[in-house]
Structure 1
Amino acid sequence: MTATIADSIYDRLSQRIITGELPAGEKLRQDHIARAFDTSHVPVREALLRLQAHGLAHSEPRRGMRVTALDPAEVREVIEMRVALESLALQHAIQNLTPADLKAADKARIACDEAQDMPTWETRNRAFHRAILTPCARPRLLHTIDDLHIASARHLFAHWRHRWVQRKDTDHAAIVQAMKRRDTATATAILVRHIRRAS
């Protein structure tokens, strides 16, 4: 599917919000964004509505759209939802695994381990989780998990940006090994521990 201007605007703004480059409370001015992307207000409005739908921005009457604040209670809710939904997705994914799926998961794991900075690692970490869960073949479930990862990413950047160090993720490796054995219970248990540890 070809990316639209609205997709490009959303991707750029969401990444800037996730990394903290656009802080909580920052006003998202349609005219400034339209000029920056050399486009009309129509795709900008579409991108801002998507940011709002994903909890990254909120609309204030007569004050326009602003970046939302990080809410500790929301972070706890996101972690609990990820535990429940990613466990469900992984259980179904293991039932459907093909050799190509396992190869994709291993490739995503290695790429994540090789990240040289936190923004690259965070993007590749999301890609790894997507790779191990995609075989579940449940688009609505995967879409919801993708949204939860966006919320989790803001928390990770806010609390780990200055403490991040490059390392091999032993949880990722253990999950892939359990998947290769079709050991659903072990893979799910490690995934749950891994998600909770991030909180």
Structure 2
Amino acid sequence: MMTLGDNATTAQRIAHSIAHRIISGALQPDAPLRQDHIAREFNSSHVPVREAFRQLEAQHLVVAAPRRGVRVASLDAKSVKEIAEMRAALEVIALRNASPKLTSAHLARIELALIEADNADTIREFEIANRAFHHALVAPCAMPRLLACLDGLQLANSRLVFAMARSAGWCPRSNQDHRLILQALRSRNIDQACDLLARHIQTIERLVLPASL
């Protein structure tokens, strides 16, 4: 799902492990995350655990509330709608800024991710390729704060994809939305590409809510 470099900090390793459990469904919505338990599991002090919690909160995977502590973020209708609307707005901004900088090499990377998603045999393979496609669309915008925010939202979206797959099943299929977005970008029709992207992202709300909530 996610990879870490050799130089990852203890906090990053903790956040990575917990994120994997949340996205895969091993940790259910509203499950409590006890700082002392996690510190003991990873043989660490509480400092990197608190930093890991901050990273996970920025990725919309956990929430911290007074007197309730840190818990896995919910997957209720309000949360799903918020994730979809934030992604739709911010990813379109990123694509508008990325589009003038897209080269043939960038378009090739986008197409490769599309093909890998089409050829995926498992939900995990599809999720990795889907995340790669959306990242490749916007990476040339060179806006690090925006891209960091989108990376967190995309992880939250991956959690929705897994939740939908667990409830409604998943089978390999071609993603026509991705193909149309790429076609619009190749034609330099940026407005059409942005409209297609916004509609595509918002479909997750319609698909997830009846299937898994």
Q: Does 1:17 align with 2:22?
A: yes
Gaps of 5+ in 2: 206-213
CA gap of 1:88–1:15, structure 2 versus 1, over 3 A, is same
Alignment of 1:164-183 (within 5 A): 164-183=170-189
154-163 or 121-130: which moved more?
Answer: 154-163
Q: What secondary structure is seen at the aligned counterpart in 2 of 1:21?
A: coil
* Counterpart residue number, 2:210: none
* Counterpart residue number, 2:148: 143
**RMSD across aligned positions (CA):** 2.1
The partner residue of 1:85 within 77, 84, 90 is 90
Gaps of 5+ in 1: none
Q: What secondary structure is seen at the aligned counterpart in 2 of 1:23?
A: coil
Q: Is 1:19–1:119's contact at 8 Å kept on the other side of the alignment? A: no
Q: CA deviation at 1:160?
A: 3.3
Q: CA deviation at 1:41?
A: 3.0
Q: What secondary structure is seen at the aligned counterpart in 2 of 1:172?
A: helix
Provide the identity percentage.
Answer: 45
CA gap of 1:27–1:74, structure 2 versus 1, over 3 A, is closer
* Counterpart residue number, 2:123: 118
Alignment of 1:55-70 (within 5 A): 55-61=60-66, 64-70=69-75
29-38 or 133-142: which moved more?
Answer: 29-38
Q: Is 1:86–1:145's contact at 8 Å kept on the other side of the alignment? A: yes
Q: Is 1:75–1:151's contact at 8 Å kept on the other side of the alignment? A: no
CA gap of 1:198–1:69, structure 2 versus 1, over 3 A, is closer
Q: What secondary structure is seen at the aligned counterpart in 2 of 1:59?
A: strand
TM-score, scaled relative to structure 2 = 0.82
Q: CA deviation at 1:17?
A: 0.8
Q: Is 2:88–2:201's contact at 8 Å kept on the other side of the alignment? A: yes
**Distance (Å, rounded) in 1 between the aligned partners of 2:79 and 2:41:** 32
Q: Is 2:59–2:149's contact at 8 Å kept on the other side of the alignment? A: no
Q: What secondary structure is seen at the aligned counterpart in 2 of 1:133?
A: helix
Q: Deviations over 1:20-71 (max 9, x none)?
A: 1101232223343234334333322211222233332233556542222223
**Distance (Å, rounded) in 1 between the aligned partners of 2:145 and 2:34:** 31
Equivalent residue pairs, number:
199
Q: What secondary structure is seen at the aligned counterpart in 1 of 2:85?
A: helix
**Distance (Å, rounded) in 1 between the aligned partners of 2:54 and 2:97:** 32
Q: CA deviation at 1:185?
A: 2.2
Q: What secondary structure is seen at the aligned counterpart in 2 of 1:39?
A: coil
Q: Deviations over 1:109-138 (max 9, x none)?
A: 222222222133223211210101111121
The partner residue of 2:104 within 96, 99, 102 is 99
Name the amino acid aligned to 1:34: A
